[in-house]
Structure 1
Amino acid sequence: MILLTGFEPFGGETTNPSWTAAAAASAILKADGHAVAAVELPCVFGQSITVLGDALQRYDPELVICVGQAGGRPRISLERIAINCDDARIPDNAGNRPVDEEVVPGGPAAYFSSLPVKAALEALRTAGIPAEVSQTAGTYVCNHIFYALMHSLETRLGAPTATRGGFIHVPYETQQVPRGSGTPSLPVAVMAEALAVVVRTAMSTTTDIRLSAGTLH
């Protein structure tokens, strides 16, 4: 079973491409013959973790990919690391605005994705989809759920599970961006195919490849 999640709209937006892309990717993967569930998460600190936890319990997936919107980024961002820090620049959809709080009190400082991010990067580039490995998922609800996911996979059965998981940021959807603004965006269909490529890569790759994808700053 594969679990994909995306977020509800936030910050005054009427849509969130992370959810529309995750739902569309679910349909693509089902057509491939995979068992897939897609779940929309609230853009709310704490509550999003509860909904994710319920989905993990219900579906007991072997692969989990959570998706969020990173408006302004030009590429599909394969997130490498989640940090144990909530520091919200804007309130979430319930008005919460934690500052310098831990996602999991007393938890490790960070967790690395257990997805084959370098192999996925290569596969995306081969497919002609703009992609990158990102070294930060921010400190808003996206990082919050990414950290909670990895912490859950590490501890929920009293020991690390065989389930692999990670987080992907997608740009704005093309229709969110005013024409001629120059703001980077991608069609939802491209985002959905990107997620399907990552899933296929993860399902066929147990050991990641070595590929330079770091940054200087």
Structure 2
Amino acid sequence: MTRLLVTGFAPFLDHAANPTAWLAERLDGARIGGADVTGITLPVTFDGAVPALLDAVAATAPDAVVMFGLAYDTDAIRPERLALNLDDSTAPDNDGQVRRNRPIDPAGPMGYWSSLPLDAIIDDLGAAGIAVRTSRDAGGYICNHLFFGIRHARPHLPAGFIHVPPFPDQVREADRGHRTGMTPERLEGAARLILARVAAQPA
């Protein structure tokens, strides 16, 4: 593969910063595993995230898309296996919109598998001593909505979603002592391993 598109998200809810926006900016313009990387930040909105991603896909013609999102409740990299055809969250998006028990596309399939090499990614991260934990699905918020949206709109484009921890200084006071977060340096190292593995996939 020669071109990779990496996405992060803007800050949302009570998170004043989003490590995935930092990551997308950090990786923009990088060359990893022989592939040129473009990084973009997407809006945390049900109505805006997928159109913004599809515009970026049209503009950059990537060979694969790797989407990153913040999962505050984890200290591990969390590759997501499934995108479900379901918006279901009590949390509002950045437009104030809440969606409960709502199919993303009533005529669409129940879900889509990630088309990234997740098992190899998990092995690579584990071998590097980076905390990693596979996850069945990407939840019911914007992360899953985006993941389903790109797989539905561009089913032949390799794409998948990776949740990441907060930075250490984002861990709430009440959680310190049993939570660590992940440093920017370690997060970038993990992302580079992920992208190198994706770049090694046959085009």
Flag whether TM exceeds 0.5 (same fold): yes
User: 1:152-172: CA deviations, max 9, x gaps?
Assistant: 221xxxxxx3x3110000011
Cα distance in 2 between the residues matched to 1:119 and 1:164? 15
Amino acid at match of 1:99: R
Match of 2:166 in 1: 172
Residue 188 of structure 1, aligned match among 184, 195, 198: 184
Distance 1:26 1:123, change over 3 A: farther
User: 1:92-132: CA deviations, max 9, x gaps?
Assistant: 10000011111223111000000000001111111111112
Cα distance in 2 between the residues matched to 1:78 and 1:31? 19
Cα distance in 1 between the residues matched to 2:62 and 2:93? 28
2:22 pairs with 1:23 = no
Q: TM-score, normalised by structure 1?
A: 0.86
* Structure 1 unaligned spans of 5+: 155-160, 207-217
Whether the 8 Å contact between 1:86 and 1:139 is mirrored in structure 2 is yes
Cα distance in 1 between the residues matched to 2:115 and 2:125? 18
Superposition deviation, residue 25 in structure 1: 3.3
Give RMSD over aligned pairs.
1.6
Task: Name the count of aligned residue pairs.
Answer: 198
User: 1:60-108: CA deviations, max 9, x gaps?
Assistant: 1001001100001121001100100001221110000011111223111
User: 1:34-83: CA deviations, max 9, x gaps?
Assistant: 31111100000021111011011111100100110000112100110010
Q: Name the SS of the counterpart of 2:66 in structure 1.
A: strand
* Structure 2 unaligned spans of 5+: none
Whether the 8 Å contact between 2:25 and 2:39 is mirrored in structure 1 is yes
Moved more, 18-27 or 54-63: 18-27
Superposition deviation, residue 14 in structure 1: 1.2
**Identity fraction in percent:** 32
Distance 1:184 1:137, change over 3 A: farther
Q: Name the SS of the counterpart of 2:31 in structure 1.
A: helix
Q: Name the SS of the counterpart of 1:80 in structure 2.
A: strand
Cα distance in 1 between the residues matched to 2:109 and 2:69? 23
